[in-house]
Structures are given as structure tokens and as C-alpha cells.
Structure 1
Amino acid sequence: MREKQIVTIGCELASDNVNLVSFRSKSSLLDFDIVLFRPEISDFFSYGTEYFQGKPSLSDTQSFQLREYCEHWRRELKEAVLAGKTAFVFLPELTSVYIDTGERTYSGTGRNQKTTRHVTEYSNYSSIPADLKPVVANGSEMKLASSVAPPLAAFWNEFREMFTYHVLLAMDKTSTAIVTRTGDKPVGGILRSKASVGSLVLLPDIDFSPDDFFAEENEELIWTEKAETFASRFVAAVIQLDKELRAESDITNEPAWASSDAYLMAPERALRAELMAAELAVERAQKTKEELAEQLRVEGRLRSLLFEKGKPLEEAIIEGLRKLGFTAEPFKDGGSEFDVVFESPEGRLIGEAEGKDNKAVNVDKQRQLQMNIHEDLQRDSVVAPAKPVLFGNAHRLSSLDQRGEPFTEKCVTAALTMNTALVFTPDLFLAVQNHVECQDDDFAAACRQAILSTIGRVTFPTPVTREPTQTTEREASDA
């Protein structure tokens, strides 16, 4: 008999018999028999995230990502249960945030224009395909509901000491399986599919990563024997519970022959036609979504100026320079190859790019840059030396507020003697971001002039200030 395929999302077990999938994955759950799901979304926001009405207010990008993954898992869990799978959902603390709706309203004009950003409340429970209406409440004193089935009772009795509840749920009595010791408030339950043997089993939370599950070996964390023992017991228990839940189901999966057109009821034919139309609409919407996602990816390529190296950094520099009004291209002709040649009415320049993981950009690239200037000048079509520009992305793996000086002292000294402009690529990104935001031709010209006229590190001009974006809340139903 084939072994049960088990997958975990948002939690991990010390077992080789369990597949681990990231919450930030688009994996299908139809490949598995049993799902262990724990909706944890804290990594979608971090230190520095803005707050609104006491809760994290996510950026446009964070909002898009969180909503996309939550909707993916909500859909996957629903389809898995409909396909006859058993999904165990562990209910962690309710994490409520504000996400961007994409809607903006504007007031005022010109420099005094105010932008209002509309947000709506969203939570990790949005990834669960059930309207649970969770209310925050923490405790560990629980019991089984009086009508609970024996299979869950055996599972509960084995692991009850590990469970903690963080929310009270809105569930009817037929679905409620676990309640608070006092007051009989629902904290867990079983939602059975009406069309298959699948079940959505809602359970209070478990700490799958206590300290005694880990040990350090050769500066790496490894699972302890205790973790492996727990995983073995837990996997065996969920397989047994899955088996018994299926056996209790009154549903028989419809055989293929019974669903042929010969046995369709008249209302079914009409509903199938409506369903096909709805599926076509979904396909069109999905295509539109994919096109918008690709446009979003293209527009976001300039962020490579913040963290990339090599060809991706060179491509982002070229795109950024074009945004500021330069004509910019990589150059390759015979033995000569330059990262970028760019010009505008103000002058002509040649650039070299260098990205460093954890250190400042040193003087090495200056020699290559000077050789490029001389090679370029030897071409018949060039009548004057181009301005040399060194683009550096130093300490690229660190956040901007944690980076040191981008160019070494020797690199700065050499730039002064070689008439070289030094451009820290995150500075270029911020200048381009400001220009795209304000669409000010005078600001773009000032940025071009700053690169052309500077010897040493380039300081870009300060953009015209606008009124800060305000945040307002919309109704949660808009989410």
C-alpha cells in the first residue's frame, strides 16, 4: 500500500517522511494526502514597518505578496478538502495588519498635492477557507465537546498537553470539537466536506520548535532525539486520525461513470454551463493578473540598484540612467567592451559597475575605467575624452542604514586625480525614484549635471517636497 504523502506549511517536523513547503510557495496540495498547515505571516513585515492605528501597515509590495499567498493557500486548502484530503490547520495567534487596497485619492494641486492611501484590515486567518470570526483569547484549559467522535478523542488525549488556544471561534455545535474548559467556547473543530471524504480539522496551536528540539553541532542547529521521537509519534497519529475520519464519512466518492452526461439532471446542465462561463472569466482574470504581475516585475527591476552585482546591476544602471534622460547602452566593439556608454545634451560619459557583498568598492576598477576612456578616445568617431564614472554598490547584502562608506579612501583619492565621478547605486536609485514620482524635468537635468560635474562621490539634488501620503482605513469587507 502506498505511503501517505504528508506536507507541512508554516511548521516543521523532524521526519524524513514529511515534505516541508514554504508559506511563500505556490505549491499545489493535490499532490499530498494529508496537510499540516499553520498560517504564520510575521515575516511579511519587519523592523521599520510603518504602523496605523496600532497595527503594522504594509507597503504596496508587502500587501500584494501577503494577499497573493494567503489567497493561494485558502484556495489550495479548499480544493484539497474537496478532493478528499484531510487538512489539519493549527491556529496560531491572530496577526492583524493593514494592507494597501491600491486605491488613492488626491486633493490639492502641484507641490501642495496630498495623496491619501486607502488600506483595509487583513489577518493570517484570511488564508483559512472558513469564516471563523476569530476573537483573541489565550489559554490552555480545554476539553473535547460532548459530541466529539472517538478518533479525535484518541489523538487529543495523546497530545493535549502540547496545545494552547489563542482565539475563540464562531462555529456551530455540529462542527465544534474542542471547547474551553469553562464556558464551552469553541477553539477547534472539524469541517467535513459535503461532496467528498475530505475534512478540514481546526486545532489549537502547537509549538513545533521548542528549545529542546534543537542542539548545536559544528555551529549548526540539528534536531534532537526528542524532536525525532515527537515527529514519529505525531505523524503516526495524524495518519491514523486521517484513516478513521475517512472511515466515518457517509460520502462515497462518485465514480466516473456516474457523472457522465447520460445521468445529468436538467438543473445540472444549466449550472455546468454557468460554471464553464465562470471558469473562462477566471482564466481571463488570471491572464490579466499575470500581465500586471509581469509589468510590476519590470517596473521593479530598478531595485537591483540596491542589492545586485554583475550584469543585473549593469542593466539596472542603464535603465536608471535612461529614466533620468540619458541615452545609455552597453558597448562592445572588437576588443573593447564597456559596461555603459551614456550621454545627454550636457555631455558624454563612460561607466564601469562594481558590486561588493560585504566591503567598500576599492581602486581596482579605476584602472579599468581609465583604460576604457583611452580606448574610446582612439575611435575615429570620438573627438574628446568621455567623463569616467564608477558605479559602486558596496555592502550590497546589508540594508542601507547598516552600510558603511561605499568607496575606500584610496578609491576616493584616485577619483580626484582622474576626474572620476563616484556614484553609489542606491543614491542613483533614490534619485530615479524621486524623478519617477514627481516627473520634474528640471530635477532630472540637475541629476544629470551632478554626475557630469562631480569629481568624487556624487550627491544628487534634493527633489521638490510634497505633502506626505496619508493613510485611511476602508471597510474590511473590501479585502
Structure 2
Amino acid sequence: MSGKRIVTIGCELASSNATHVSFRSKSSLLDFDIVLFKPLIDDFIGYSTDYFQGKPSLSDTKSFQLRECCEHWRRELKEAVAAGKTVLVFLTELTSVYIDTGQRTYSGTGRNQKTTRHVTEYSNYTSIPAELKPVVANGLEMKLASSVAPPLAAFWNEFREIFAYHVLISSANVPAAILTRTGDKCVGAVIRSNTSTGSLVLLPDVDFYPDEFLAEKNEQQVWTKKATTFANRFVSAIVHMDKELRAESDVTTEPAWASADAYLLAPERTLRAELMAAELAVEKAQQAKEELAERLRVEGRLRGLLFEKGRPLEEAIIEALRKLGFTAEPFKDGGSEFDVVFESAEGRLIGEAEGKDNKAVNVDKLRQLQMNIHEDLLRESVEAPAKPVLFGNAHRLVSLDDRGDAFTEKCVAAALTMNTALVFTPDLFLVVQNYIECQDPEFASACRQAILSSVGRVKFPVPATRESTHESKSEPDDV
């Protein structure tokens, strides 16, 4: 329809001419001609999020993910404008949170040690490549500035009724294009590139999902005819605005031949050399970042104890047992195959793992476990039966707070008669998490002994508690 490649982030249109990508994606915007962007970060704020000074305080993991996403889009939007693209940013509600800086300070010693977690304020507007200094304000009455460009005026006059403002742009460096009806406060702007035909168009917010745009069909939400009609009009209008903005640009895109070395000025040669050095530094930093990300992924494998099944669950169990001081390996020899054989100075054990999507672990695995114990005992190198342990991850896709019983009553009763320990793998995760934090060998020994001595569900020891507090170490980030 349009001949232009259009992408939407944070919003969707009922049009085959617009490609939608997630805010969490790492997509490049250089593949597109027109970008529609909404800086929505609600996905990072869950029901279980803590609060600090009245605002959500994100966990270490979500802090890292949010900062990474915002930095990605800020960079991509800036590069898109520099490459001559038209970027439309819809100024949604300002969402401020506290994110973890990664810095910790400690006071006290032993059981009285206190950990202070340093946080800083962060907002969804950090993803926008412009210093806007947004101030919260809500309203519907707006007008165009007298100096507004005709392309924006035509677009605004067609769609003005669908816009609502949620912030005022207080930065004096932003050229106002849309103002409040009274007070002439800036709520929209057009920032043109100095080096290309690209433009950053800041617009008040739009609700792209009114009730009349959505209907339910086969238990799924689908676009209505009104949504399709609107999307086609909207796409046509932004394509026309993009064309007119480019036509009005005073900048001529530099032809390739003009940037040849023969036409470089002396300062340019120096700056090019500095730019190459800077790019090399960025490349090294990116490599270091990727290495850290891989280490983070490896360290995070233990979280598989919370939600995995099958081989990934078995691998997480083996890693957790090693953390607690066991030697642990999967076993395969001829016709015998055991999920894990593990031992320590306290004794030798054989384990089977079972993950269930939406129910408790039942008695089925106990029969397999007992067969493994007997097969193991038939080996010449084994002189005594190993302790049987059933590792179960019940209701694995449900939040821990909402899970039912980990093992069925029949499974628990059978375990009592078979001298079998039942380990709920999220319990194992929590004790390993605590051990990694405290590095107390006595606690690890107590955890090993708990598995060896238990019949039925294992109750792990509780480590000495550590107090933890928040502290806003740095000033809020400028947005």
C-alpha cells in the first residue's frame, strides 16, 4: 500500500504495512523507513515488585534488562534519524522506577552483617534520544505552534481528536510544535537532523486499542473493521508526512564520492582517527559485555530448578548439588542410566528428577528409582545400597506462591516406606542461593545431611539471616 517499510514498537496497528516488534527485542531500525515508538516499560513491573520511596524498585535481573532495552532503543532511534528515517515517538505517561546500580556496601560482621543495595531512579523516557525534561501533566486541549511545519499541521488536523498529553516538555532546547491550549506549554515537537533528512517527531499519546478496535473470536482478540480502516488512514497519513518532511529538509544527503579522502579537511582526518579509536573501544566493550552476559547466563542456569523439566532440570540439579559440596554426575553404563549419582563424606545417593507442568509429582517415578537402586547395587564396585532421592518440580510454570502440593499423598506415603527423600527443587534452589551468599561450610554440610537423613519431603536448614536495605546512591538520571 505505502511502499514504505514501517515498524511499530510499544504499539500495534491493524495493518499489514506495519511490522510490530517487541520492546524487549534487539531489532535494528535501519531496515525500516518510518518508526512508530511508545516507551512502555510496564512489562518490567510485576505484581511482586518491591517499592522504594513510593516507586517500584526492580530486582537485579529486571534492572539489567530494563536498562539494556532502553539503551538499545535510544541508540537505535538516534541512528535511525541520523540515517534519514522519520521517527514518531508517542509521549506516554512518565513511568519512574528505581533500578539496581550493582553497587553494594556492607557494615557489621557475621550474623549482624548488613547489606545496603544501592539504587538510582530511572524512567521510560530514558529510551528517547532527546533531553526532554518531562513534567507530569494530563490534558486534551492542544493547538499547533505558529511556526509548525506544514507536514505536521496536515497530519495533526486530520487526527487531533485521538491525541492526549501526559507530560509537558520543559527543556528549552526542544523546538515546540504542539502546545497546550492555554499556557502555551510544549507537548509535541519536531527535531530535525542536522546531517540528514531524518526527523524525530514527538507527539502526544494515542490510544491504539479503543474498545471498538477489538473483538473476541474463538477465545482470542482480533482487530475489527474499524481498526483496519483507522490503521490504513493512519499509515497513509504518516507516509505523506514522511514524504513532506523529507522534501522540506534543507539537508542534502552527502553522495558517496564527496566523502572520499581527497576531499577531507584536516580536522576531519583527526576526528576520523579518533572515531575509529572510539569504535574500537566500543567493540572491545561490547565483547566484554557479551562475555559477562554469557557468564551471567551460565550462573543463572540454577534458576532452572524453579521451572525446568527433563534434561535442563537434571543439569540444574547436578550443578546445585555440586555447589553444596557433593560430587555429582549423571550415570550411564550399558543398560543402566540414572539421572544423577552423587556423594560426599556423609554418604552416597542416587536421584531421579521429574518436572510437572500443572500437577503434583506422583508415585510413578519411585518405582523407577527403586529399580535404579537395585541395578546400582548389582555392580561389583558398590557394596551398599545408595540413598534414593526423588527431585520433583511440581506446577513448574506457576509462581511459587501459587503452587499446590509438590508431591501427591500417595507419593509421600510410598516414600516413607522406601526410605526415600523427596526434594522439591525450588527448595533446593533457595538453599543454594543462600549458600552462595553466605559461603558457610557448616550450612552446606547441614544441607547435605538433611538430604541423607530425610525420609519424605526434605526440610532444609535455615541460614543465619542477613539484613538488606535500599539506598538511593546517585541522583536520578536525566531524561
Structure 1 length-normalised TM: 0.98
Q: CA deviation at 1:113?
A: 1.2
Name the SS of the counterpart of 2:212 in structure 1.
Answer: helix
Contact 2:6 2:33 in 1 (8 A): yes
Task: After TM superposition, list the pairs within 5 Å mapping 1:278-293 onto structure 2.
Answer: 278-293=278-293
After superposition, what is the alpha-carbon deviation per residue over 1:9-34, rounded to whole angstroms, capped at 9, x for unaligned? Answer: 00000111110100000000000000
DSSP 3-state at the match of 2:27 = coil
Tell me which residue corresponds to 1:131.
131
Q: 1:120 maps to what in 2? A: 120
Q: Does 1:210 align with 2:210?
A: yes
**For 2:245, what is the secondary structure of its paired residue?**
helix
- Partner residue in 1 for 2:96: 96
Displacement after TM superposition at 1:115 (Å):
1.1
2:201 alignment counterpart: 201
Shift of the 473–211 alpha-carbon distance from structure 1 to 2, 3 Å rule, reads: farther
Aligned partner of 1:145 in structure 2 is 145
Aligned to 1:469, the other structure's residue is in SS state strand
State the partner residue of 1:350.
350
Which residue of structure 1 lines up, in the alignment, with residue 417 of structure 2?
417
SS at match of 1:84: coil
User: Which residue of structure 1 lines up, in the alignment, with residue 256 of structure 2?
Assistant: 256
Label 1:66 to 1:464 Cα distance change in 2 as closer, same or farther (>3 A): same
Tell me, what secondary structure is at the counterpart of 1:164? strand
> 2:33: which partner in 1?
33
CA distance in 1, matches of 2:478, 2:64: 14
Q: What corresponds to 1:105 in structure 2? A: 105
Aligned counterpart, 1:72: 72
Distance in 2 (alpha carbons) for counterparts of 1:174 and 1:23 = 25
SS for the counterpart of 1:385 is: coil
% identical equivalent positions:
79
Distance across 2 between alignment mates of 1:406 and 1:427? 10
Does the CA-based 8 Å contact 1:342-1:350 persist in structure 2? yes
- CA drift of 1:472 comes to 3.1
The residue type paired with residue 65 of structure 2 is Q
- Would the aligned equivalents of 2:112 and 2:466 in 1 still touch at CA under 8 Å? yes
Q: Is the 8 A contact 1:314 1:340 kept in 2?
A: yes
The one-letter code matched in structure 2 to 1:154 is: A
Contact residue 122 and residue 477 of structure 2 kept, 8 A:
no
Residue 311 of structure 1 aligns with which residue? Answer: 311
Deviations, residues 275-307 of structure 1 (Å, cap 9, x unaligned): 111111111111111111111111111000000
Q: What secondary structure is seen at the aligned counterpart in 2 of 1:157?
A: helix
* Structure 1 position 230 matched with structure 2 position 219: no
Mapped pair 1:8 → 2:19: no
Task: Check whether the contact 1:115–1:468 (CA below 8 A) recurs between aligned residues.
Answer: yes
Match of 2:297 in 1: 297
Hey, what does 1:247 align to over in structure 2? 247
The Cα shift of 1:2 comes to: 8.4
Q: Is the CA contact 1:116–1:472 (under 8 Å) kept in the aligned structure 2?
A: no
Give distance in 2, aligned partners of 1:112 and 1:99: 26
Query: For residue 271 of structure 2, what is the aligned residue in structure 1?
Result: 271
| 1:326 and 2:326 correspond | yes
SS at match of 1:167: strand
Poorly superposed stretches of 4+, deviation over 6 Å = none
Question: Does 2:32 align with 1:21?
Answer: no
How much has 1:48 moved relative to structure 2?
A: 1.3
Cα 1:258/1:450, change in 2 over 3 Å: same
Q: Deviations over 1:359-383 (max 9, x none)?
A: 0001110111111111111111000
SS in 2 for 1:283: helix
Q: In structure 2, what is the Cα distance between the partners aligned to 1:386 and 1:173? A: 73
Q: Does the Cα contact within 8 Å between 1:360 and 1:404 map onto a contact in 2?
A: yes
Contact 1:365 1:390 in 2 (8 A): yes
Change (3 A) 1:212 1:243: same
Q: Which segment is superposed worse, 188-197 or 465-474?
A: 465-474
Structure 2: segments with no counterpart, 5+ residues: none
Q: Which amino acid aligns with 1:321?
A: L
Q: Hey, what's the Cα distance between the residues in 1 that align with 2:150 and 2:474?
A: 45
Counterparts of 1:136 and 1:2 in 2: how far apart (Å)?
36
**CA shift for structure 1 position 178:** 0.3
Runs of at least 5 residues in structure 1 that lack an aligned partner in the other structure: none
Cα distance in 1, alignment partners of residues 69 and 317 from structure 2:
31
Question: What is the deviation of 1:112?
Answer: 1.1
Q: How big is the alpha-carbon RMSD for the aligned residues of Structure 1 and Structure 2?
A: 1.3
Matched letter for residue 145 of structure 1: A
Contact 1:8 1:36 (8 Å CA) reproduced:
yes
* Residue equivalent to 1:388: 388
Q: Report the AA paired with residue 294 of structure 2.
A: E
Q: Is the 8 A contact 2:117 2:468 kept in 1?
A: no
Contact 2:2 2:17 in 1 (8 A): no
Shift of 1:469: 3.2
Q: 1:471 & 1:88 partners in 2: Cα distance?
A: 37
In structure 1, the partner of 2:59 is: 59
Change (3 A) 1:11 1:478: closer
Q: Deviations over 1:207-255 (max 9, x none)?
A: 0111211111111111111111111110101000000000000111000
Deviation at 1:171, TM superposition (A): 4.4
Q: State the shift of 1:172 in Å.
A: 4.4
Q: Distance in 2 between matches of 1:244 and 1:478?
A: 33
* Contact persistence 2:308–2:396 (CA under 8 A): yes
Please say if residues 132 and 169 of structure 1, whose CA atoms lie closer than 8 Å, have aligned partners that are also in contact: yes
Structure 2 distance, partners of 1:418, 1:252, is 82
Q: Which residue of 2 aligns with 1:426?
A: 426
Which AA in structure 2 matches 1:362?
N
For residues 433 and 33 of structure 2, the distance between their equivalents in structure 1, rounded to whole angstroms, comes to 47
Distance 2:363 2:236 in 1: 61
Match of 2:158 in 1: 158
- Measure, in 1, the Cα distance between the counterparts of 2:331 and 2:428: 21
Contact conserved, 1:120 with 1:478, CA < 8 A, in 2? no
**Displacement after TM superposition at 1:313 (Å):** 0.4
DSSP 3-state at the match of 2:340: strand
